[in-house]
Every structure is written in structure tokens, then in C-alpha cells.
Structure 1
């Protein structure tokens, strides 16, 4: 299993809309993510700074990287662009985080 973490930023006046859109995640988006090896995906919001912390568990990095090229993912980026900071292609502006500690029950 591969663990990944990154940060993104939602617009301060769009916290509720960001949450709503993820609560109504498109079934085809969920299926695509799982088909590309997603085990777990969590996103947390720091309301004071509007930063989003995302944590993923994946089966395979190479397969996961292919999600960015899918039509459903590109449509999701377009859908989410009005509520968060994005790049010119509407992908979220994100910064990968380096894991510095991990502990789990054996």
C-alpha cells in the first residue's frame, strides 16, 4: 500500500459548497478512482486558513497517475474550479507533503 498526502486550498466563501459537492460525488468518479487503485481517500478542511489536507491510500502509484487523464476526472476539475484554487487546466493547485512519521498497530 502507498500513502500520499497533499494540501490544496478552497476559497473562504466556498467551504460549504466544497463539502456539498464531495457529499454528492458522482458515481462514475468514485468508480474511476477505485478502478485506479484507490483504497482510501480523506480530505480535511482547516476553516481558519481554508487549506485542505488530503490523505490517500493506494495500491499503485503508476495506475493512480493515470486518473488525471480520464474524462471524468477532467470534468470533475472543471466542476470544482469555481470553489478552489486551480491551475490553468483546472486541476487543483496542490503541494505534496513528505511523510516524516508513520505508526500503526501490528
Structure 2
């Protein structure tokens, strides 16, 4: 399982509404994420709007492609696009993927070998 971290920037004046929408994500969107390989998926939001996402998946490309094939994802991305700064593509296509530089369990496992 791969760990993927990404960032986006939420417009500061839209943070409250963005947070409210994520308090009750559409059930069909939740099911689609699970079905297409998004596991242990979390979003973290800083007070200035910096959004950090984390997901575990076999393949982020396959997980994104799977969601792209769902009708609910098209509706969700369209409804969420207005919340982000400087984004001219759907949010799930415009995030900046971060590079993992440390993982405790990986290093502990290498000690045991």
C-alpha cells in the first residue's frame, strides 16, 4: 500500500463552508472513494486555508482514474471547485503531491533485517 500526501489551498473566506461540507460528505461519494481504492483517507486544514490530504492506496493513478469514471465524482468536484485558490482544473486533478521523506515503520523494519 502506498502512502500519498497532497496539498491544495482553500480560499480563506470559504473555510467554514468547506469544513461544513466535509462534515457530511454525500454517502455515494464515500462509497465511491472506498470502492475505487482510497483507504485511510484524511484531510487536514490549517487556519490560513492550507489543505493537506493523506490517503493510502495501491495506486494513486488508478484510484484517481476510478473516481474519474464515476458520476458522483464529477458532481462533487464541480461543487467543490469554487473553494480553491488558483485552480483551473478539478480539485482532484490539481493537487500538488508531496514527497515522503520519512516513515517511522519503514526505518524500524529495516533495523530488524
Task: Give the TM-score normalised by structure 1.
Answer: 0.85
Tell me, which stretches of 5 or more residues in structure 1 are unaligned? none
Change in 2 beyond 3 A, CA 1:101/1:26? same
> Following TM superposition, where does structure 1 have runs of at least 4 consecutive aligned residues deviating by more than 4 angstroms?
none
Residue in 1 that maps onto 2:70: 70
Task: Give the TM-score normalised by structure 2.
Answer: 0.81
Question: Shift of residue 62 of structure 1?
Answer: 4.5
Larger CA Rg, structure 1 vs 2: 2
Residue in 2 that maps onto 1:44: 44
Residue in 2 that maps onto 1:16: 16
Greater helix content? 2
Distance in 1 between the 2:35 and 2:12 partners?
A: 32
Matched residue pairs, number?
Answer: 104
Change in 2 beyond 3 A, CA 1:16/1:29? same
Q: What value does the CA root-mean-square deviation take over the aligned residues? A: 1.9
